[in-house]
Chains A and B, each alone.
Chain A
Amino acid sequence: MSNKVIHAIYNDDDVLLHAVTETRSAHHHIEEIYTPFPVHGLDKAMGLAPTRLAITAFLYGLVGLAFATTILNYIMIENWPQDIGGKPSFSFIQNMPAFVPIMFELTVFFSAHLMVFTFFMRSKLWPFKKAENPDVRTTDDHFLMEVALHGNEEEAIEFFKNTGAVEVKVIDKEQ
């Protein structure tokens, strides 16, 4: 089984978007697309599933809120209900307005940070990670579409040339 992939390189995002649509309708499987900047509508054209990052952020926010409520209730109400400047520490609800700033900030803190870490983990990003860039130009001004090669090599090259690629290469991927 060969591990050959096609690298079709474009130098315009409009051409790329068009090529993605053509490639999908020709039933070529797009492995990956490398772009120097976010191309609006690329995920839709590729048919990628929407992200669920926002949902995780909401849940992390709830965790933060629960954490803040629990810790404030334990410290200020249950463990040492001291009279500090006449604030009513008899029950959580009586002293709640004073806790709201902390509850708010911790909700935001948990939501933001845990979401960012989720993003790093899901996109496999960390320090000292080996860059997976197939062509250095894709970080500057070129767009690269990687497509799995099945069947005729010549036909596929011809197809991608016709989609407006400035360069089409066949790469043998080492496993």
Chain B
Amino acid sequence: MYTFSNRLKTFAIVLMVLGLVGIVYGFINAPKTVSDVEQILTEQHHGDSHHVGEAGGSHAELSADEQAEHQHHLEHVLQQMQNKPWAAVYVACIFFMLISLGVLAFYAINYASQAGWSPVLARVMEGLSAYLLPGSIIFLILLVLSSMNMNHLFIWMDADVVADDKIISAKTGYLNVPFFLIRTVIYLAGWNLYRYYAVKNSRAMDANFDIAIHKRVFKASAAFLVFFIVTESMMSWDWIMSIDTHWYSTLFGWYVFASFFVTAVTVIAFTTLYLKSKGLLEYVNTSHIHDLAKYMFGLSIFWTYLWFSQFMLMWYSNIPEEVTYFVFRIQEYKLPFFGMLLLNFALPLLLLMNTEFKRITWVIVMAGTLIVVGHYLDFYNMIVPGTVGGSWFIGVPEIGSLMFFAGLFIFVVFTAMAKAPLLHKNHPLIEESKQFHY
């Protein structure tokens, strides 16, 4: 039985409080009016002496057309800057929620495939997926706020934009607020329902063993995986791809899946190593860790394969309507866009290739940290360019949001972990899992 240590609890609460301060700071600091933006832009220009000369002349010398254009530009930048704290919260929120969803999918895959190695880790996964419920509630609230036009994360939610935009108005059959929210609720409810059912039965099996319970969860897991892959694709269109409303990609759902799935496996490995270091996972040996590390390695490459397939097909054919997505990212987000390739592919590839390395704690922690940071950047690259545009910066609001949701994640997960013994008592494959050696 695990008890949530006070030190970890304090750490989680400190993270949440500091994160909240960062988030609030981000919202307060966001410019309110066009004149605020103008001031910020002039300050930026003064910092860069080249532009002062080139900008040439004051506003008085500008023609009426240029004035209007300038005003339009300012409004555009204002919207982006106002989006910045929202996008920061949105990225961190969806990132952590999808991590726990990824854990749940991994749990279901292991259950449905009757994996013999993983039952000793089932309780760790159940604990990690506990974040799904609070995470999805916060996320739903964020989406509702967006659909109430509290922010401009989704341009298709803005009636004025849709009216002027033929491409978007042609998509309103799918992209309209009521249908969007109904879909969201269906996805979230479906996932949470499966988790509730699986965990409830897992606890029931501890009390008294009945193979019927196991079979029920097995069937539920198989059904969940079917539901999951459909809703996962759709949620990636809804929550992420629809931000760049003019752009679409057919393998996007898989790409998003690979991204959060590899992060989820990494988080499972982290939690396992942490609990193991506390001496709480008696039956977890280096072979279990090795298996998790193999998943981290293989899925990192899988993610890269999808990333490259998406990028290369668009780069190669160079069709303007789809390639702008990457042109903008390469121009404005060069460092995060290519940096994440180093973090998500090159370094994990080299670090986790060796068999011996996959059993060494500090190597896994190092490679895992790169993977988690890299996939945060991945979500950042997917969401922020479409909402904040060129005005991006990873500063206080972004790090604050990450800290807040990380704190909440730790708090919820370890509270849930303390509610049940860390080892299944009656899982049919538990003995095999205890003996597992690779």
Interface residues of A (CB under 8 A from B): 54, 58, 86, 97-98, 100
Contacts and interface: CB of A to CB of B under 8 A. Distances in A.
Contacts of A58: 353
Which 10 residue pairs spanning A and B have beta carbons closest together? Answer: A97-B312, A97-B315, A98-B316, A100-B308, A97-B316, A100-B312, A97-B311, A58-B353, A86-B318, A54-B355
Contacts of B355: 54
A115 to B, nearest CB: 14
Nearest to B353: A58
A58 B308 CA distance: 22
A61 to B, nearest CB: 10
B358 to A, nearest CB: 13
A58 B353 CA distance: 9
A1 B318 CA distance: 78
Residue among A58, A86, A97, A98 with max Cβ neighbours from chain B (10 Å): A97
5 contacts: A58-B353, A97-B308, A97-B311, A97-B315, A98-B316
Chain B interface category by residue count: under 10
A100 B312 CA distance: 9
Nearest to B355: A54
Nearest to B308: A100
Nearest to A86: B318
A98 B316 CA distance: 7
Given A58-B353, A97-B315, A100-B308, 7 more contacts: A86-B318, A97-B311, A97-B312, A97-B316, A98-B312, A98-B316, A100-B312
Contacts, number: 12
A54 B353 CA distance: 10
Interface in B301-355: 308, 311-312, 315-316, 318, 353, 355
Contacts of B353: 58
Contacts of A86: 318
Contacts of A54: 355
B329 to A, nearest CB: 14
B302 to A, nearest CB: 14
Contacts of B315: 97
Nearest to B305: A104
B124 to A, nearest CB: 28
A99 to B, nearest CB: 10
A58 B355 CA distance: 13
Contacts of B316: 97-98
Nearest to A98: B316
A98 B355 CA distance: 32
B354 to A, nearest CB: 9
A103 to B, nearest CB: 11
Contacts of B308: 97, 100
B42 to A, nearest CB: 36
A92 B99 CA distance: 37
Nearest to A101: B312
Contacts of A100: 308, 312
A101 to B, nearest CB: 8
A97 B316 CA distance: 8
A97 B323 CA distance: 14
A86 B320 CA distance: 14
Nearest to B350: A58
A97 B308 CA distance: 8
Nearest to A55: B354
Nearest to B317: A85
A24 to B, nearest CB: 21
A41 to B, nearest CB: 10
A167 to B, nearest CB: 33
B290 to A, nearest CB: 15
Nearest to B315: A97
Nearest to B311: A97
Contacts of B312: 97-98, 100
A144 B316 CA distance: 59
